[in-house]
Structure 1
């Protein structure tokens, strides 16, 4: 019983430390969020539909309310808001990268790239705001794939 309780306390402390660490910078928050989100989808979970409490760690309340309004609207929501696509590619899971984020006061914007294969990537423009708890995702837009450099 004592070992179980000790393991529970250690796990809780480790989770809190990880949560605090992922909120230290916008790039880290984005990478951690998308790695977690895609892993959840890959396990056939739906963090939004299941109201996963971890969403509150990564996403602003304003954005969660916007998504709920979109879902409940007469037209519904065709695309997954965070992926800006109807589905995810298996190649995106465990393949999340991000550019350096541009800071402007309590806002930050940067590119998140899902996938390694250029033919199977999703480029997202992710905006975060700094709240008391740290950086949180506040907006996501699909970004057109960068064109190839002239040769």
Structure 2
């Protein structure tokens, strides 16, 4: 039990230290766990320009999101959630699977929530740069 708790603590510290050396699944899991926890604590990582975003998201995607936010129509949905809001059940239920890597690009499934009636399915595309894997696009999956 103590070893498991120690391993969990190390994993959490590592996830906050950046994405270098981690695979796309680990980076996606760490990002969504952090992001949903921040939202649940009434923080808004995008609006507050949280520097942690830079560890997980490509500069190109951050620029795209800023353009969308500043556009006349604005941005209705949270880009990373592909929804207007999040469900409390998502905060502790992030599941990542099926990532395929093709050179410097990887894509895979991220599932938020565990109940079929309160679940969000996302297709996350990542790009590898000198710092590691970073999120480059997110789309809602319609299954």
TM-score tier after normalising by the smaller chain length: 0.7 to 0.9
The answer on whether the counterparts of 1:23 and 1:29 sit within 8 Å (CA) in structure 2 is: no
2:111 match: 113
- Quote the offset at 1:24 in angstroms: 1.2
Q: Report the alpha carbon displacement of residue 20 of structure 1 after superposing the two structures with TM.
A: 4.3
**Alignment match, 1:122:** 120
Give the Cα–Cα distance (whole angstroms) in 2 for the partners of residues 47 and 18 of structure 1: 14
TM-score (norm. length: structure 2): 0.87
Contact 2:55 2:134 in 1 (8 A): yes
* Residue 92 (structure 1) aligned with residue 95 (structure 2): no
Q: Which has the larger radius of gyration?
A: 1
State the match for 1:62 in structure 2: 60
**SS of the counterpart of 1:123?**
strand
Superposed structure 1 runs of 4+ greater than 3 Å apart: 14-18, 20-23
Equivalent residues, number: 132
Contact between 1:100 and 1:110, CA under 8 Å: does it hold in 2? Answer: yes
Q: How does 1:1-150 map to 2 (within 5 A)?
A: 15=13, 18-20=16-18, 24-145=22-143
- Unpaired segments ≥5 residues, structure 2: 1-11
Computed over aligned residues only, the root mean square deviation of the Cα atoms, in angstroms, reads 1.7
Residue 98 to residue 22, structure 1, CA distance change in 2 (3 Å): farther
